[in-house]
Amino acid sequence: MSPQAHKVKFTYEDYLLFPDDGKRHELIDGEHFMTPAPSTKHQKVSSNLHRIISYFVYEKNLGILFPAPTDVVLSDQDVVEPDLLFVSSARSSIITEKNIQGAPDLAVEIISENTRKTDEIIKRKLYERHGIPEYWIVDPELETVKVYRMTGQGYTRAAELSLESNNTLTTPLLPDLRIPLSEIFK
C-alpha cells in the first residue's frame, strides 16, 4: 500500500469540529490547511479593498462582498475562507445563514508569507475546478495584483498589475469599478 492510502480525508462535518483558535482552517481535497492570523500589512490591504468594493457594490445594488472569515463550501471536502468574496445579486441563493454554498462570483486572496504556494497554485486550481468566474491574487510585498478569469479552457491570466506601473484594477463583474493600485496598497 502506498503512503497516500492511509491519508485522512476530512469532510465539512469534521471541519465544523475544528477549534475556534484565531487561525484560518480550510479543507482542500479533504486536506486540512491551517494558517496563523495575517499580518497588519495584509489586513490593511484587505480593509482597503473591502471598503472600496463594498461601497461600490452597495451603491449599485450589485450583490454583497464578504470579508474573511466567511466559509465557502465548494464540496464536502473543499471548504475555504477567501480574504474577500463577492456574490452577485443574481446568485444570492448560494448565501445561507452559515456559509456560502457553492462558487462565489469573485474570490480574492491576499498573499501572506505562509500562503504564497497555497494561494498561487493550490487555491487557483481549486477555484478553477469549481468554476469561480474570477480570482484575484493580491501581493502586499510585491504590490501586485494577478487577475484570473474563467474561459472555456479554464483560467487565463487576464492581467498582472503593479503599483510601480501605476495600474488600475477593473473587472467585468463590476462594471465601472476602477481601483487605482495606489488605493489598495496605501
Q: What is the pLDDT of residue 59?
A: 96
CATH of the domain spanning 38-184: 3.90.1570.10
Q: What is the pLDDT of residue 23?
A: 86
Which residues in the chain land under pLDDT 50? 1-3
Q: Side by side, which strands form the sheet with 78-80?
A: 31-35, 24-28, 78-80, 72-75, 100-101
Backbone angles phi, psi at 63, to 5 degrees: 155, -145
d(CA 43, CA 51): 12
Q: What is the pLDDT of residue 4?
A: 52
Largest alpha-carbon pair distance within the chain? 57
Q: What is the pTM of this model?
A: 0.93
Q: What is the pLDDT of residue 76?
A: 96
Q: What is the pLDDT of residue 1?
A: 40
Domain extent listing, the chain? 38-184
Grid cell at residue 106: 469573485
Q: Side by side, which strands form the sheet with 106-110?
A: 63-67, 84-88, 106-110, 134-139, 144-151, 154-162
Q: What is the pLDDT of residue 6?
A: 60
Q: Which DSSP category does 125 fall into? A: H
Grid cell at residue 78: 473543499
DSSP for 33-99? EEEPPPPHHHHHHHHHHHHHHHHHHHHHT-EEEEESS--EEEETTEEE--SEEEEEGGGGGGB-SS-
d(CA 146, CA 120): 9
d(CA 71, CA 81): 5
Grid cell at residue 17: 469540529
